[in-house]
Chains A and B, each alone.
Chain A
Amino acid sequence: MTSTKPLLEVDGLTLRIGASGRTVVNDVSFSVSPGEIVGIVGESGSGKTLAARAVMGFIPPAVRLISGSIRFDGEEVTTMAPKRLRATRGAKVGMVFQEPMTSLNPSMLIGRQLEEGLALHRKLDAAGRRELILDMLRRVGIRDPEGAFNAYPHQYSGGMRQRIMLASVMLLKPALLLADEPTTALDAVVQRDVMELMVDLTKENGTAVLLISHDLGMVARYCSRIVVMCQGDVVEQGRSEDILARPQHSYTRKLLAAMPHREPARELPDTATPLVSVDGLVVDYGGRQGFFRKEQGKRALHGISLSVKPGEVVSVVGGSGSGKTTLGHAIAGLLKPSGGEIRFNGKPIDKSDAAFWDYRLNCQMVFQDPYSSLDPRMTIGELVGEPLRLVKGMGTAEKKARLQEVLGEVGLGDGFAERYPHELSGGQRQRVAIARAIIRRPSFVIADEPVSALDVTVRAQVLELFAELQKKHGFSCLFISHDLGVVEQVSDRVVVMQDGRIVEEGTRDQIFDAPRHDYTRKLLSAVPGLESTQDGGVRLFWRLADAGGATAIANA
């Protein structure tokens, strides 16, 4: 395949931000052959998106092309006339973006949206277009294509919308598909289905794919070649197997090392009484109430029972809509359960004020989004120190010393106390959130997707820090996540949730090595397992590769 003339050739591409003169893409070269799937991997700020978008002249107005050439199908794109460029976009190059919620026009019927491209680039009458669209909708797994034709995007879930988006792009049978983090906003199982569909569809039509992602595991699974980018530079590129097994550049090694990995199971002291136990927890969300109407409520949790022993890390996993976040909020006391009981140290927390207060002081939470969980008007010192306000019998000097100690523990030493959240990076903010959660030395911490908003290498650092602190202070933890890789790394025990119910529960090794429930198997088949090799590389393997697949498409 490499002997044929490449479809896309990017050579020495350099992009700079106009005003500040900062180089965001520096001398980047890569090529894509017809029908080939190439992945660009990098963290945020690596320039991967800009480099890929430049291929179709989609760069923000502030960014300037300094030098380099982009040849698509033998034609120079950088000097192409706008009219010619428009004809090439859409007809020969398709794009799928990250956000399925915003990439389809919400006020336009799906049929109309799909028709738009066809009408523009193909000579067909209305009936012919309709026929093609219905075929394509059927192909991407929409069960009722006729209905979808006359439906609006909001009537579909994120995964379905991404399929529709894919359908609209593939209708034109482009020679190249640019996919910019096409599945990042979706949960693991749906992610795999959409990726598999994309690969099948492009293979059928001989379309080449340029896949942009931060997820090395996913890229390695589907791409024949990988380009690794870091801060505007291509640090390494080559065949996927070579990059994984024998990474040459230190950054690639760092990326590989940051992928979650399993450590031997820990021995926990056997205690009879669990620290926190939840029994038959039911949560209903009330329906919307207006002056004249009252809508039916929705049951989010159907009687959940679980327990966390002292010093244990229990993970709750599940796709979006499984109720895992609701469970976390209910256990944290942020919403009132409609039924069931939460016991802390054997005492029900809602029976007496003293019991609740004891629980309140001992149960803390780390939230998902470090950009929204810190009050923007407070300094880091004020934020982290705030929980101490409610600790009785602690002097000012003692509080100050504790603050210093905790800030040091999370690696935010000198000078950070005076700074404001907006001056910090995402990883640093999450460190602040962790510091705030542990400053009272709680015995129980609920972590709701604490690393899902972070970049790969930062995620690894934060997880390491969290594990270290957990070991040092011995708090129990309820770790809520959709990311099985992370769960595999941190948990002692795993609870799998689906549609507000627990479908499987067991030790980490039981769940990961011998899953019993179908849903667990489906979840597991969507994430890679890792084995380290001697050269500092890794080997990926896919568990239960046959599970899910076809059935997943039918159910999605």
Chain B
Amino acid sequence: MKLPAPNALVGGTLIGTLGIVAAVSALWTPYDPLRLSFRAKLAAPSAMHWLGTDEFGRDVLSRLMAGAATSVWISLLTVALAVSLGTVIGLFSGYVRGWVDRTIMAFNDALLAFPGILLALGLLAVVGANKYGIILALGIAYAPSVARIVRGTVLSLREREFISASRVMGNSEGFTMARHILPNCIAPLTVLATSMFGWVLLAESSLSFLGLGVPPPAPTWGNMLAGSRPYIGQAVWLGIFPGLCISLTLLGINLLGDALRDKLDPRMRGAR
């Protein structure tokens, strides 16, 4: 059997591990991630607490495992929401063109002009800070950039002769869209979605950091990182391990995204 490409191998291992950890955390963690223990607060990594404990004596490893499930779940759903929302808007806008397109895009560009996190903050104020509020707010905040990219791709694809060929064949506009335009948007979309996964993971961390994320005591990587700030001098592991988790996840997602794009695009096959 042929060995998978190195980027798929490394990315897959990282993300696979993450998935397993997230799944396992639902059933078992070394300690209860919420159990306070004032005798063992700010304990350094040891045989008992592999990654140490935080200011309330909660086990960092257990909290990271539980946090993985929350953070990854939020990021996944947010990316899915942003990509589907943006794709629908972009496809529609690029396909109808005319004044409808111009109006939608003017609105879209106005949204793009805001930093995503600012927009999400505003939306969070409306929908309320909880897990699904975050997903909704971030999903809407990141949809405009997807819409832009999809619309651009649709516009350039429309001019290609294979779209004319499909119309000459007698295919309906809807079929042409689904069969010829959408699949050709997938390559730019995968690239965007993977990097977006990273942005969202960071944005969720930032929101938690600002105190607008998933409310404590439930652990997410973001609020763990945020909570570590006052103790950075005495308990450096509190910041390092959540940060490391975020970085490794980003690395894994990006590598996997690259591999996925190569796999999905027939032109890339065998190019290596």
Chain A interface residues (CB < 8 Å from chain B): 289, 291, 329, 332-334, 357, 360-361, 363-365, 367-369, 372-377, 386-387, 389-390, 420, 422, 433, 436
Contacts and interface: CB of A to CB of B under 8 A. Distances in A.
Given A368-B161, A422-B267, A377 B184 contact: yes
Contacts of A289: 98
B170 A357 contact: yes
B101 to A, nearest CB: 11
Given A291-B102, A377-B265, 4 more contacts: A369-B161, A376-B184, A386-B166, A386-B179
A367 B162 CA distance: 9
Contacts of B161: 367-369, 372-373
B170 A377 contact: no
A377 B157 CA distance: 13
A376 B165 contact: no
Contact of A332 (B162, B168, B266, B269): B168
Given A369-B161, A372-B160, A420-B266, A334 B168 contact: yes
Contacts, number: 65
A365 B267 contact: no
A206 B98 CA distance: 57
A333 B166 CA distance: 12
B229 interface: no
A386 B162 contact: no
A85 B155 CA distance: 45
Given A386-B169, A420-B266, A375 B180 contact: yes
B180 A387 contact: no
B164 A360 contact: no
Contacts of B171: 386, 389-390
A363 B160 contact: no
A256 to B, nearest CB: 32
A417 to B, nearest CB: 14
A422 B265 CA distance: 11
Contact of A365 (B160, B165, B265, B269): B165
A229 to B, nearest CB: 29
Interface in B53-98: 98
Interface string B139-181: 0000000000000000000001110111111110000000110
A363 B168 contact: yes
Given A357-B170, A360-B170, A390-B170, A373 B165 contact: yes
Contact of A377 (B102, B165, B168, B266): B266
Nearest to B98: A289
Contacts of B162: 372-375
A369 B161 CA distance: 8
B216 interface: no
A377 B169 contact: no
Contacts of B168: 332-334, 360, 363-365
Contacts of B6: none
B266 A422 contact: yes
B30 interface: no
13 contacts: A332-B164, A334-B164, A361-B170, A363-B168, A365-B168, A367-B164, A374-B165, A377-B183, A377-B266, A386-B169, A420-B266, A420-B269, A422-B267
Contacts of A361: 170
Interface string B232-272: 00000000000000000000000000000000011101000
Contacts of B160: 372-373
A376 B267 contact: yes
Contacts of A364: 168-169
A387 B169 contact: yes
Nearest to A377: B183
Contacts of A374: 162, 165
Contacts of A373: 160-162, 164-165
Nearest to B103: A291
Contacts of A334: 164, 167-168
A369 B98 CA distance: 27
Residue from the set B161, B164, B184 with the largest chain A CB neighbour count within 10 Å: B161
Contacts of A420: 266-267, 269
A439 B126 CA distance: 58
A420 B171 CA distance: 21
A289 B97 CA distance: 11
A361 B171 CA distance: 10
Contacts of B180: 375
Nearest to B180: A375
A367 B164 CA distance: 9
Contacts of B184: 375-377
Interface string B185-204: 00000000000000000000
Nearest to A334: B164
The 4 closest A-B pairs by CB, nearest first: A373-B161, A367-B161, A360-B170, A420-B266
A433 B166 CA distance: 12
A476 to B, nearest CB: 16
Nearest to A373: B161
A205 B251 CA distance: 64
Given A291-B102, A361-B170, A436 B165 contact: yes
Contacts of B165: 365, 367, 373-374, 433, 436
